[in-house]
Amino acid sequence: MNTALTQLAAGCDLASEAHTPLRLAFGLACVERVRHLLEDPEAIAGLDTLAAFTAGTVDAATLANAAARMKEVASHHRGSQSLDGSAHAAVSATYAVANALAGRALEAASYAAYATVYAYGGYAVQDLSAFEPEHQWQVLALQRLLDDAPSERSAQPAAASQPGA
C-alpha cells in the first residue's frame, strides 16, 4: 500500500465527483508506465480509449463501454506461458487498466506498482522496498496533476462553450 499516495488522495478529496477527470488522468499516467507489460490487445485498446477520453476525442459512453469490457478482460486474463513471473505482471497491468478506466485511480496505481515489481520476478513482491521507486513516482505524479488542476479548471468552461464541445 502506498500510504503517502493514500494520504495525498484523501487530502485533496480525490474520490469526489468533481475530481473524476483528475482520477482518470492519474490512472492513465500510472497505467502508461506498465503499457509494455500488457499482453492482451483488448487491454491495450482499453488503455488507448482512456487516453482518447482524457484528450477529449471520445465520449463518456465510449469510456463506459471500454470500462465494462476491460472488467471482463481482466477477470478472464489468460496469463502468460512465461515461467519468470511476467504472467502476474501482465495480469496486474490488465487489472490496472480496468481500474483506471473505471475511475478507480488508487486501485489502478496499486495494480500498476504491483505489475512493475512483479516484472522483476515473483520474488520481488516480497520485498516492500522494491515498491518504493514506483510509489514515490505515483505521489509526485498526482501532486503534479493537482498543481496543474487549477489552470485546467479555468480552461474547461471556455472549451465547453465551444461549438461541438
Under 8 Å between Cβ of 28 and 16:
no
pTM above 0.85, yes or no: no
Per-residue pLDDT of the chain (165 residues; tens, 9 = 90+): 899 999 999 999 999 999 999 999 999 999 999 999 998 999 999 999 999 999 999 999 999 999 999 999 988 766 644 545 455 788 899 999 999 999 999 999 999 998 998 887 766 677 888 889 999 999 999 999 999 986 444 434 333 333 343
What H or E segment, with its residue span, contains residue 30? helix 20-32
Three-state DSSP class for residue 77: coil
Contact 133, 41 (CB under 8 A): no
